[in-house]
Every structure is written in C-alpha cells, then in structure tokens.
C-alpha cells in the first residue's frame, strides 16, 4: 500500500467516511489529516460543473464550458490523435473549472440503434471504441485530471437501466462488451472507472466479483478507483468486497456506517477497506496536484475553434450524386429546416453542457461564401405538421438552384434515461421533403442527430451530409464542408440498417421486464449484417470524400500489413484505411470479418503513401470458454484492407499458428450461431451458448415489492396509494408530453419511473434512509398505517441522530 502510514493514523470511521461522497459531486475530506475533497463532474464531451450548492439532484445547468462534438460524432473521425486533442482540451477546462475527475468517456457498445445514449458512445465496434477512448483518456490525464471510463459494463440500453439484468454469454461479454474497457484500462491507463447501474448475469456490476476482481483487477491489472454510477449502489458491503472505493453521491453517512459495523462485527476484514482507502487516496492526491499551480482561465475562443476543427473532421458525406457538393460558386441556395436556425448539437441528460458560444447556421453564412437567398423553418421541431410552413418553404425552394435542407432528431428524442421508440425521423420532416421534391430536385440534406436513423426518403435527395451532434461549432463546420473549404473525411462508426427490423437485437431489445437476453451473441452491428448477408443502407466504416483513393501493393508480413494508397482525384484529402480479419476455419463460429486496425492518412492530390498497420495481441485472438482465456486458432486468415467494411480493396491471406486450445463448442448444438444469422435464436440454443438456464424474465407479481423493484412496479402493488401514485406518474408523463414539455416528461421516466425503491435513499443525499424506505415499502405493500408510522419513527430517529440535542416534531 502506498499510503500505509497515513491510513494507520485514521480511525475506522474516518476510513469508512471516504467510501462515499460528501455531497452530489465531491468526495469526503478529513481536515485533520490534510485530506481534501476532490470534485467529480460530467462529461463526457464538455465540463458540466455545477456550483456546489446549486441543487441536490445534480440537474441544474453547469457553468459555461466548451461543448465539443459528442463521442458518437468524434468516432466518425477515426482519428486517435484528434481524440487525444479533445481530451487535452477537456483536461485544460477541467483544471480551469477545478474539476479533478471528469466522468467520461463512455465506451458502451451500440448494441441496438435505439439506445437513448448512443450519442454519448463511440461505436458498435469494441476496437474502434476502445482506441478512441484510450486517446481521450491520454489527453485528459495529461493535465493531471482523472478520466472516468463508463459505464462498466453491459449497459446498452436506458430502459429499466437501474434494475435490468443483462444476460450475456462469457465469450460475447469478453469479445464485444468488455474489449473497449480493456483497451481504455491497458492503453489509456484510466485512473477511474464507473460501474454501471444494471445487473450482469444476475449480479449488480458494482458487486460482481467476476467482473471487478477477476477481470478488471485480476486479468487487466487495474490499479485505479471504481466509482458507482450515481445512486447505483445496491449492497454497499458486497460493493466494497468487489473493490468499489467510492459510492456517489452522498448517502449522508448511512452506508459508511454499514461498513463500520461490518468491520467491527468481523464480517469484513479491515484490510479490504484499507486497500480501497489506499487507492482512493491515490486518486485524491494525484488529481489535486495540478491545482497547486496558479489558476488559469481557458481561452474560450481558441477552444471554440478547436471544437470546430474536431467537428469538421467528423462530418460524414453519405451521398453526393453528380458531385452536387461542394457547392459551385455563385449557386443560389435556399436554407430550409428548423435546425438551421437553432442548431441541434448535443444530447440530453447528464452530459448536457452549457456552451460558451453557440454557432447557428444562419449566423455563419456570410463568411462561408455560400449565397443564401433566404431561410424557411419548413416544419415544427416537435413533430406537428404545419402546411403553411411547408408552403412557404416550397415558395422559397422554387427560386433556388439548390436546397439545403436541415433535418434531424430533436433534443428530447435522444436522451439519457430512455430509449428511442423508432429509427424514423419525424413524419412532418419527411412530408416537407416530399413537398420540396415536387418543386426542386436539387436537395442536399444535412442531418443532425447522434444515432442511426432510417432513410426511406434517400432517393429524393442528391446530397447527404451527416453532421451527427457537432458541438457548439458544428453548424459552422458543416458550412465549411459544403463550401469545399474542408474536404469531408469522416466515416460511420456504426451501421445504418435499411429498417430497424433488420437489426440483430430487434427481437430482444430492450428485453423483458426483468432481464434482457443478448441472444444475438457476438453478432452485433456489421458483424451481423456482414456475416448474415443482410443488406444495409450504409455499412460500418463508410463515408465519401471530394477526392478518390486507390489501394495497391499489399504486403503481408508476420507482424504487420503494408500497402499503398494513392489520391487519384484533384483535391487533397484524408482517407481512413481499415484492417479487417476473417478466419477460414469453421470449427469455431466467428463474424465474417472484424476490425483489427485502422489509420487516418492525409494525402495530397496525385500523391501516394505507404501505410503499415501492425498486428497486435488482439488481431487473431478469440475467447475460449473452455480454457477460460484468450486463444488463437491455428488457421488461415483473410487479411482485408477496406475503405469500409463492405468495400474491401485488398485481400490476402496469412497462416497463423494456434495456441492449441480445444474447440469449446459442440457445433451441432449451436447451428444458428455457426451461420451468423442470429437475429432469431431459440431459447434452447441461447441456453446452450450460455451454459445454463436463462432466468425468469418477468416480474414476480405475487411477491411484495422490495428494494430492487422499481417505482413502475407500483402498478400492481397491494397498497392502493402506491397504485394511485403509479397512475399519477403515468398521467404526469402523458400530460407533460401533451403540453410540449417533453424534457420534463423524460425526466420523470429517468429519475422516477425506472428508479428502484432503494434509489429513494441513494439519491436523496441522506434525507431519506433505508429504514424510511422500509416504511415506504410497507405502504406500497398495503400496510399503510404500519408503514406510515414506521416512516415517521425512522425519520425522527434519523434527525435525532444528526442533532441529538434537538426536539424533533413530526
Ligand atoms: C449517469 C452518468 C453520470 C452521472 C452523474 C448518471 O445518471 O448515468 O453517466 O456521470 O449520472 O451525473
């Protein structure tokens, strides 16, 4: 232990006190020993620091900070140097705002296009997500601040996120859902990691010994701190045993006391606590160092410009019929669409940044050199059809050479706490597009949203530029691509299926009441579409440029692959080259191809460059469930160099010696997995893969409600009051949506509807404790008077314990 002597000076109570927050954002301090509080703030694409006293629930707006493009956007750049730059700028702002731990990046996989937080995550591919995350972390931590990689692990939906049990087989867990975290830990050297809210194969992740001790600390050698997601603690002692150092936010000391009692009674060895304290002290002492230097404000303008550069490199050109882009000089453009007036630039929830500056398209036109003849909103952002607006837009469109049509999803649709209901963009936007197409066919759509959408309307547009969520300078960045000042170089970090129904997890998302079964196994994203031969709208890794590239001269060596890329157009540009590997042996099922390397290169027109991509320890590995470790299968492998996952330009083979492990599966028992067509897997076959029975996936309505049941379950509570409460919540949600307050309606779903009963104690900063929750549960379970008096008695006790001299009334 690094701080053995200091820990020896601490009382048991002092040590335990460090194990949970002091308030919503800070850790506990111990003045007499010179241990200060440190500040944790969201993340991930900007600093959201609230003034400490702002509010108890952490919901108020933060102080102004640069809103960089979100992770889903920056992932499209496939540029780890750029990721590191974003990290550095975040780190600098964290220092300026006195933030010690930045709660990001988020590296959860995009298992399904509807996950409400996809805009905050990088990719459907663990290698790309991991590499991008590691680059962010390096950048952030170069300033002495700690990154906090989240949400560990298998948290791939928002629906019932605090109670859902993710059922996933070990190989899929390792190869798909943990690899990005592994890279963030081993290569990024993250100093902290946030456990997720959900259960993983029956146990809350924060208490999951297999995840936390065997894999994270054991196999990956992680030495940093594990922080709970806010209010995510279930059993504090089980968490401590799994090595969870910091519970957030404060519980008013309630869970610290549990730790003290468990140690006094011998249930937990004090050394377990000491180890946790030691690691937490290291985080505190190392991240407070940068603050010993004089305070420096960050340069708002410079950071804004950097955020623009990042957006420019992340924009994806998806369609460019007849080279309609870049816009030819002197063309008269009509700007249509509400998003051109009010930029859509980030998602909703805990990641929301209060931007220092905000560019809107209509304010940036002059400097872009593009000649606009006017603007019409064309549709109502929140969904209603408005014929007058359509007519006005058509009138303007008739006078223009080209229409720039700004479409997308609104702020309340992509939000933490709830998933989207469909992959469609609002119908009123499509109606507008149809009407415009009648009067002028030169339409370029500019899309603003942070996740994949369906585009049944794509044949009606000649150009399509996807800006994703470009942060506070995203609008200007898009104009620079359209004017030709910037040659687009982004490529999709996720697949765009033709229809939502095509996605591999369609039948198992968001799962049933109690659990979600990842029956599709390894086959998420392109791993599925490609292997199962399902047509897609845009494949993973796809994106156009204003120039063209040719690939040649493939050389495959033992440890790397080299090839030449030539810019055959007349504009300088950047190309993202992708290395995919496929195994020829059919003994162990695998995706047809998997990304194992990439690089982004800049090439001048007419020039060429040699590129070498080294193989690494992940290139040929697979996780063998029989030996319980990574193995290599002796086989011939395809070495594919692609411009996208569907556009392989160079192909060769390499024989690789194996590690000699036994084949872990009985092929005939997993026939569908061997075909890769895993969108409809029977329960029996999934159980064979899992190696056990799947748990009951529905709520047990016969049992009384308990700590881990969620407020939504009050609909069948024995207590009438709880049932009324449930319908009031449902009504409030419906009413708020009806009156256009979708943000407030979302908040109800996120912070009340899906909250487990224990969350009432975990999220109220010590105002309500667990014995009081017992009273609430008694009421919910039909014992009103008993529960009510229990609640009051416990409340009195709590207040008295805090202020023994006062008389408590109530
Ligand atoms: C989110 C985390 C976030 C935390 C603090 C949670 O609800 O899941 O991503 O960092 O709140 O705001």
* CA nearest ligand 1 atom 5, residue: 230
187-196, 296-305, 360-369, 475-484: least confident range: 360-369
What pLDDT score was predicted for residue 16?
98
Decide: residue 656, CB within 10 A, 0-12 exposed, 13-18 middle, 19+ buried.
middle
What is the spatial distance between Cα 198 and Cα 515, in angstroms, rounded to a whole number?
A: 10
- 305-516: CATH topology is Rossmann fold (3.40.50)
517-526, 654-663, 757-766, 799-808: least confident range: 799-808
Q: What is the DSSP letter of 418?
A: B
CA trace torsion 444, 448, 453, 454 (10° rounding):
-20
Decide: residue 100, CB within 10 A, 0-12 exposed, 13-18 middle, 19+ buried.
buried
* CA nearest ligand 1 atom 9, residue: 350
Distance 142 CA to ligand 1 centre (A): 23
**pLDDT band, very low/low/confident/very high, at 52 (cuts 50, 70, 90):** low
Q: Which two tokens stand for residue 54?
A: 């702002």
CB 587 within 8 A of CB 594: no
Residue to probe by mutation, ligand 1, list 25, 196, 416, most atoms within 8 Å of CB: 416
Q: Is 196 in the pocket of ligand 1 (CB under 6 A)?
A: no
pLDDT at 185 over 90: yes
Distance 230 CA to ligand 1 centre (A): 6
Q: What is the 3-state secondary structure (H, E, C) of 362-406?
A: HHHHHHHCCEEEEEECCCCCCCCCCHHHHHHHHHHHHCCCEEEEE
Q: Is 225 in the pocket of ligand 1 (CB under 6 A)?
A: no
Q: Is 103 in the pocket of ligand 1 (CB under 6 A)?
A: yes
Q: Percentages helix, strand, coil for the chain, rounded to the nearest 5?
A: 35, 20, 45
214-218, 362-366, 696-700, 716-720: least confident range: 362-366
Q: Is 230 in the pocket of ligand 1 (CB under 6 A)?
A: yes
Residue to probe by mutation, ligand 1, list 103, 117, 160, 352, most atoms within 8 Å of CB: 103
* CA nearest ligand 1 atom 11, residue: 230
Task: For 531-689, give the CATH class.
Answer: mainly beta
| Tens digit of each residue's pLDDT (9 = 90 or more) over 116-134 | 999 999 999 999 999 999 9
Residue to probe by mutation, ligand 1, list 25, 42, 101, 750, most atoms within 8 Å of CB: 42
Q: Which residues of 277-304 are buried (b: 16+ CB within 10 A; e: fewer)?
A: bbbbbbbbbbbbeebeeeeeebeeeebb
Highest mean pLDDT among 284-298, 376-390, 429-443, 749-763 belongs to 429-443
What pLDDT score was predicted for residue 803?
81
What pLDDT score was predicted for residue 809?
46
What is the spatial distance between Cα 411 and Cα 407, in angstroms, rounded to a whole number?
A: 13
This model's pTM is above 0.85: yes
| Tens digit of each residue's pLDDT (9 = 90 or more) over 507-552 | 999 999 999 999 999 999 999 999 999 999 999 999 999 999 999 9
* CA nearest ligand 1 atom 12, residue: 350
* CA geometry: angle 237, 242, 245, nearest 5 deg: 75
Distance 101 CA to ligand 1 centre (A): 13
| Distance, CA of 81 to chain centre | 20
**pLDDT band, very low/low/confident/very high, at 806 (cuts 50, 70, 90):** low
**pLDDT band, very low/low/confident/very high, at 807 (cuts 50, 70, 90):** low
CB 180 within 8 A of CB 137: no
Beta-sheet strand order (sheet of 101-103):
40-42, 101-103, 146-152, 192-195, 225-228
| Tens digit of each residue's pLDDT (9 = 90 or more) over 309-353 | 999 999 999 999 999 999 998 899 999 999 999 999 999 999 999
Q: Which ligand 1 atom lies nearest to the CA of residue 48?
A: 12
Alpha-carbon dihedral sign for residues 405, 411, 414, 420: negative
Q: Is 108 in the pocket of ligand 1 (CB under 6 A)?
A: no
Average pLDDT of span 450-457: 98
Q: Is 229 in the pocket of ligand 1 (CB under 6 A)?
A: yes
| Distance, CA of 676 to chain centre | 26
Q: Which residues of 169-188 are buried (b: 16+ CB within 10 A; e: fewer)?
A: bbbbbbbbbbbbbbbbbbbb
| Tens digit of each residue's pLDDT (9 = 90 or more) over 389-417 | 999 999 999 999 999 999 999 998 999 99
CB 333 within 8 A of CB 327: yes
| Tens digit of each residue's pLDDT (9 = 90 or more) over 261-293 | 999 999 999 999 999 999 999 999 999 999 988
What pLDDT score was predicted for residue 366?
83
What pLDDT score was predicted for residue 810?
40
Q: Is 794 in the pocket of ligand 1 (CB under 6 A)?
A: no
Q: Which ligand 1 atom lies nearest to the CA of residue 161?
A: 8
CATH architecture of 4-291: Alpha-Beta Barrel (3.20)
DSSP state string for 620-674: SEEEETTTTEEEE--EEEEEEEEEETTEEEEEEEEEE----PPP-S-GGG-HHHH
Q: Is 177 in the pocket of ligand 1 (CB under 6 A)?
A: no
Q: Is 21 in the pocket of ligand 1 (CB under 6 A)?
A: no
| Distance, CA of 689 to chain centre | 27
DSSP state string for 747-767: HHIIIIIT-BHHHHHHTTTTS
* CA nearest ligand 1 atom 3, residue: 350
Alpha-carbon dihedral sign for residues 41, 46, 49, 55: negative
**Selected catalytic residue, list 23, 125, 165, 229:** 229
What is the spatial distance between Cα 263 and Cα 273, in angstroms, rounded to a whole number?
A: 9
| Tens digit of each residue's pLDDT (9 = 90 or more) over 623-669 | 999 999 999 999 999 999 999 999 999 999 999 999 999 999 999 99
Write out the residue limits of the CATH 3.20.20.300 domain(s) in the chain: 4-291
Q: What is the mean pLDDT of the chain?
A: 96
CB 80 within 8 A of CB 132: yes
Residue to probe by mutation, ligand 1, list 230, 348, 353, most atoms within 8 Å of CB: 230
Q: Which of 488, 466, 329, 487 is closest to 402 using CA atoms? A: 329
**What are the beta bridge partners of residue 464?**
319, 445
Count of C-beta atoms within a 10 Å radius of residue 387: 9
**pLDDT band, very low/low/confident/very high, at 808 (cuts 50, 70, 90):** very low
Average pLDDT of span 576-584: 98
DSSP state string for 553-571: EEEE-SSEEEEEEEE-SSS
How much of the chain exceeds pLDDT 70, in percent? 98
**pLDDT band, very low/low/confident/very high, at 761 (cuts 50, 70, 90):** very high
Q: Which two tokens stand for residue 809?
A: 């009334």
What pLDDT score was predicted for residue 19?
98
Average pLDDT of span 250-266: 97
Q: Which ligand 1 atom lies nearest to the CA of residue 43?
A: 10
**pLDDT band, very low/low/confident/very high, at 750 (cuts 50, 70, 90):** confident
What is the Cα Rg of the chain in Å?
27
Q: Which two tokens stand for residue 508?
A: 């198992």
What is the spatial distance between Cα 756 and Cα 202, in angstroms, rounded to a whole number?
A: 16
Tell me whether residue 282 is one of the annotated catalytic residues: no
* CA geometry: angle 560, 565, 567, nearest 5 deg: 165
Write out the residue limits of the CATH 2.60.40.10 domain(s) in the chain: 531-689
Average pLDDT of span 720-728: 96
DSSP state string for 15-33: HHHTTBBSSSSBB--BGGG
């Amino acid at each position: 232990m690094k701080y053995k002597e200091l820990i020896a000076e601490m009382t048991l109570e002092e040590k335990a006190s460090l194990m949970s927050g002091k308030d919503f954002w800070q850790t506990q301090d111990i003045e007499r020993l010179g241990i200060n509080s440190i500040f944790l703030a969201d993340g991930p694409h900007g600093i959201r620091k609230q003034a400490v006293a702002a509010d108890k629930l952490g919901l108020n707006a933060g102080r102004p900070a640069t809103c960089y493009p979100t992770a889903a956007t920056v992932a499209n750049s496939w540029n780890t140097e750029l990721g590191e730059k974003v990290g550095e700028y975040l780190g600098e702002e964290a220092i300026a705002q006195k933030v010690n731990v930045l709660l990001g990046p988020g590296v959860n996989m995009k298992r399904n296009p509807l996950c409400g937080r996809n805009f905050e995550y990088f990719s459907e591919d663990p290698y790309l997500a991991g590499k991008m995350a590691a680059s962010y972390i390096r950048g952030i931590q170069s300033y002495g601040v700690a990154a906090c990689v989240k949400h560990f692990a298998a948290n791939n939906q928002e629906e019932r996120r605090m109670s859902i049990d993710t059922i996933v087989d070990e190989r899929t867990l390792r190869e798909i859902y943990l690899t990005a975290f592994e890279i963030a830990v081993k290569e990024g050297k993250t100093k902290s990691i946030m456990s997720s809210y959900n259960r993983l194969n029956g146990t809350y992740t924060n208490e999951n010994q297999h995840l936390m001790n065997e894999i994270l600390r054991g196999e990956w050698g992680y030495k940093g701190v594990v922080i709970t997601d806010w209010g995510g603690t279930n059993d504090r002692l089980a968490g401590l045993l799994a090595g969870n150092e910091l519970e957030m936010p404060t519980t008013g000391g309630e869970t610290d006391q549990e730790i003290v009692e468990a140690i006094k009674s011998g249930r937990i060895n004090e050394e377990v606590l000491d180890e946790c304290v030691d690691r937490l002290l290291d985080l505190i002492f190392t991240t407070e160092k940068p603050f010993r230097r004089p305070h420096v404000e960050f340069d708002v303008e410079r950071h804004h410009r950097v955020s623009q550069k990042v957006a420019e490199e992340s924009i994806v050109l998806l369609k460019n019929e007849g080279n309609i882009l870049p816009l030819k000089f002197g063309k008269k453009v009509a700007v249509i669409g509400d998003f051109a007036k009010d930029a859509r630039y980030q998602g909703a929830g805990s990641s929301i940044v209060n931007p220092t500056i905000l560019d809107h398209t209509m304010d940036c036109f002059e400097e872009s050199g593009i000649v606009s003849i006017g603007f019409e909103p064309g549709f109502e952002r929140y969904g209603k059809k408005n014929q007058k607006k359509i007519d006005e837009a058509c009138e303007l469109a008739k006078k223009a050479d080209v229409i720039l049509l700004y479409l997308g999803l609104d702020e309340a649709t992509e939000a933490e706490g709830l998933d989207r209901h469909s992959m469609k963009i609002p119908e009123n936007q499509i109606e507008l597009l149809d009407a415009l197409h009648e009067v002028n066919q030169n339409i370029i759509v500019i899309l603003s949203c942070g996740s994949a959408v369906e585009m049944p309307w794509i044949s009606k547009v000649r150009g399509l530029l996807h800006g994703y969520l470009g942060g506070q300078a995203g609008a200007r960045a898009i104009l620079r691509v359209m004017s030709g000042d910037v040659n687009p170089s982004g490529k999709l970090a996720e697949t765009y299926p033709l229809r939502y129904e095509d996605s591999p997890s369609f039948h198992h998302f968001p799962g049933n009441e109690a659990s979600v079964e990842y029956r599709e196994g390894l086959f998420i994203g392109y791993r599925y579409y490609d292997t199962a031969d399902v047509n897609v709208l845009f494949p993973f890794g796809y994106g156009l440029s204003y120039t063209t590239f040719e690939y040649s001269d493939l050389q495959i060596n033992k440890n790397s692959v080299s090839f030449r890329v030539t810019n055959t157009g007349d504009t300088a540009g950047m190309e993202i080259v992708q290395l995919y590997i496929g195994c020829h042996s059919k003994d162990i099922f695998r995706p047809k191809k998997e990304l194992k390397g990439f690089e982004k290169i800049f090439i001048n027109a007419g020039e060429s460059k040699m590129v070498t991509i080294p193989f690494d320890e992940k290139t040929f590995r697979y996780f063998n469930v029989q030996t319980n470790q990574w193995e290599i299968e002796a086989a011939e492998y395809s070495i594919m160099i692609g411009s996208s996952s569907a556009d392989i330009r160079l192909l060769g083979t390499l024989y690789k010696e194996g590690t000699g492990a036994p084949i872990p599966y009985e092929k005939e028992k997993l026939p569908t997995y061997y075909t890769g067509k895993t969108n409809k897997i029977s329960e029996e076959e999934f159980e064979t893969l899992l190696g056990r029975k799947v748990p009951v996936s529905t709520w047990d309505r016969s049992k009384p409600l308990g700590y881990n049941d969620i407020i939504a379950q009050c609909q069948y509570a024995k207590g009438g009051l709880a049932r009324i409460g449930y319908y009031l919540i449902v009504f409030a949600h419906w009413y708020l949506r009806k009156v256009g307050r979708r943000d407030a309606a979302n908040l109800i779903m996120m912070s009340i509807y899906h909250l487990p009963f224990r969350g009432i104690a975990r999220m109220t900063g010590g105002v309500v404790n667990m014995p009081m929750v017992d009273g609430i549960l008694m009421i919910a379970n039909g014992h009103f008077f008993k529960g009510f008096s229990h609640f009051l008695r416990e409340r009195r006790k709590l207040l008295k314990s805090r202020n023994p001299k006062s008389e408590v009334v109530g």
